[in-house]
Amino acid sequence: MVDWQPRDAIDFMLDDCDTWAVVGLSGDPTRTAYSIAALLQRRGKRIVPIHPDGASGQLEVLGEKAYPTLADVPFPIDVVDVFRRSEAAGQFADEAVQIGAKGVWLQLGVVDAGAFERTTAAGLHMVMDTCPAIEWAGVPDDQSGGSGGGASGCGSGVGVEPGNGSGMSGPGSGMPPG
């Protein structure tokens, strides 16, 4: 059986990668993507929201400009953190390879074995079915003096987010705008 959570990949992304594109990050603070992006920021990471509404050029989330696609981001991305259902996640893993990212992180409940094989074969680090908050649980949060963030913000199950699991709606998401 393939190890979808290799410790070296987790450590590399959490310790050595600074810029995280968060696919599915909207401005809704009730969504899992929002709480995990906020945790990433508290841990010193730069987050880049990726959401179709970023096409307007007006969407900002947690103080960062949103972009509609990974290809639209005008600077290097280290990690692509995917908050989409398993059946949609592979597209973003493939795009991560195309943009030259260093790693792909599929959130808790999100698994795409084919994407894992393609992405790691291309030389990227990749993990699936886990969450930075889980991996950081119990490790002191140097930025806020907190207790490590815990795993409570990770969501659970294949859907990850309430609704369609993506934090995204509208064309191409399989969900009507809401």
DSSP 175: B
pTM score = 0.81
Residuewise pLDDT in 10s, the chain (178 residues): 678 999 999 999 999 999 999 999 999 999 999 999 999 999 999 999 999 999 999 999 999 999 999 999 999 999 999 999 999 999 999 999 999 999 999 999 999 999 999 999 999 999 999 999 999 986 655 543 333 444 446 664 333 333 333 333 333 333 323 3
Cα separations (Å) of 103 from 19, 24, 33, 99, 111?
11, 17, 18, 11, 15
Cα(14)–Cα(36) distance, rounded to whole angstroms?
13
* One CATH from 3.40.50.720, 3.10.150.10, 3.20.20.20, 3.40.50.620 for 7-136: 3.40.50.720
